[in-house]
Amino acid sequence: MLRTAIIGLGPIGNIHARHYQEHPNCELVGLCDIIPERADDAACRFDAPAYYDAAEMLRTVKPDICGVCTGGHEYGGDHYTPTIQALKAGCHVLGEKPVSNDIAEAEEMVRLARDQGLCYGINLNHRFTRLTRIARQWLNEGRLGHLLFINMAMWIKNPRETSLWFQVKALHPHTIDVMRFFCGDIAAVQCFVTRAPGRTIWSTAHFNFKFACGAVGGLTGSYDIERGHPMERCEVAGVDGRFVLDDMMHKLTWYPANNCETTVINNTPFGMIPEKVFDDTFRNRIHRFVEQVSDGAKPATIEAGGADALAAQRVLAAAITSVEENRVVEAPVPNDAI
Ligand SMILES: NC(=O)c1ccc[n+]([C@@H]2O[C@H](COP(=O)([O-])OP(=O)(O)OC[C@H]3O[C@@H](n4cnc5c(N)ncnc54)[C@H](O)[C@@H]3O)[C@@H](O)[C@H]2O)c1
């Protein structure tokens, strides 16, 4: 049984707690939030002890796995301290995205996990869907042939105006991770930004990419569009065909290059509610981390690990430089250079 604790019990920490509680290999041994009511509510809900101080919890309950679900500035500013505390306490850590918007801090977190020989994963849950795995399998089998391009888009309504780069930093760890999952490292970035009337932050952005494998790509993202329609789309093309993933977890379509018979795989039975499908991505991601830790996986093999998340943050930092300096920014450092 893996002794599991969580730091940060906002809405997202509660989702993590539920999925750990459901896992037969996990036992929730501590739930910590610096806001006592949040820790107490979660403790009551999940029948586990509440703590208000992470260091005290780690010392007392000695977890095997620690979930870090804090938020903070740009929805990731609070992750650093509890992640370092948990790694120093010898825990495998599954943290929320973004790993950190401060690249030096993210490097330190990834380096510490590596030096301690601990598994460090990030909840880049958009790649943990059945359809995304099928599409990745097609790539592994060479079904697309020589890779040419990837087009990705993601849009939701988020009215928060907390910082100029909030949309780029909080939304796109997911999209960049999915693009890297399919096409590998990104070698050059160019970014353009705009905003809806009345907004002050860069709430809509478009990115152009060159991948190390030679493929090219585009990404459009926005915090300016109301929900109600699909919110995410990814198209990957090679010389032998292309696939389109609608909403990552809803529909996968294969368009072969040499005939007009398409294949459609739907993930959502008629009547299934979208929230349930999104919740599944958390369960898939969290349970995969538990499975890898249970199996004694080598830290470097953890799917959507800290180094992957760091690579995505480097791409986003390069995109911001591209806007600020109005230029293409070459080759963010490869993800093993920490
Ligand atoms: N993967 C996804 O699809 C997805 C979706 C939404 C949000 N998120 C991420 O989830 C994270 C949490 O989101 P949220 O909406 O629950 O945030 P939130 O701000 O509501 O909750 C975070 C909690 O962490 C607590 N906290 C901060 N520092 C702490 C510390 N040192 N010790 C103990 N508790 C501490 C805060 O008091 C707060 O209660 C964010 O990083 C966000 O980017 C991920």
**Residue corresponding to tokens 């740009």:** 74
Pocket flag, ligand 1, residue 268 (CB < 6 Å): no
Task: State the pTM of this model.
Answer: 0.95
Residue 260: partners with Cβ closer than 8 Å, 6 or more residues away = none
Section 236-255 average pLDDT: 93
State which of 14, 34, 84, 289 you would mutate to test the pocket of ligand 1, scoring each by most atoms of that ligand within 8 A of its C-beta: 34
Residues in CB range of 154: below 8 A, 6 or more apart: 171, 172, 174, 175, 220, 221, 222, 231, 232, 233
Return phi, psi of residue 315, to 5°: -65, -45
> Ligand 1 centroid to 161 CA: how many Å?
18
Q: Could you tell me if the CB of 12 is within 6 A of ligand 1?
A: yes
C-alpha torsion angle, residues 180, 186, 191, 197 (rounded to 10): 10
Side-chain half-sphere of 62: how many Cα atoms within 13 Å? Answer: 0
pLDDT in tens, 155-211: 999 999 999 999 999 999 999 999 999 999 999 999 999 999 999 999 999 999 999
Is ligand 1 within 6 A of the CB of residue 32? yes
Q: Which domains does the chain have, with CATH numbers?
A: 2-118 (3.40.50.720), 129-273+311-330 (3.30.360.10)
Q: Would you say the CB of residue 70 lies under 6 angstroms from ligand 1?
A: yes
Residue 122 has what pLDDT? 98
**Does ligand 1 have an atom closer than 6 angstroms to the CB of 81?**
yes
Residue 5, token pair as written in the block: 């604790």
**Residues, the chain:** 338
Dump pLDDT digits (tens) for 54-113.
Answer: 999 999 999 999 999 999 998 999 999 999 999 999 999 999 999 999 999 999 999 999
**CB 125 less than 6 A from any atom of ligand 1:** yes
Q: Which atom, in ligand 1's list, is nearest to the CA of 13? A: 16
Q: How far is the CA of 305 from the centre of ligand 1 (A)?
A: 19
- Is the Cβ atom of 58 under 6 angstroms away from ligand 1? no
Q: In angstroms, rounded to a whole number, what is the distance separating the alpha carbons of residues 257 and 273?
A: 34
Both tokens assigned to 269: 């039975």
Q: Which residues pair with 222 in a beta bridge?
A: 155, 204
What would the DSSP string read from start to end of 176-241? HHHHHHHH--EEEEEEEEE--TT--S--EEEEEEEETTS-EEEEEEESBS-SSS--EEEEEEETTE
pLDDT given at position 336: 59
> Cβ of 249: how many Cβ atoms within 10 Å?
23
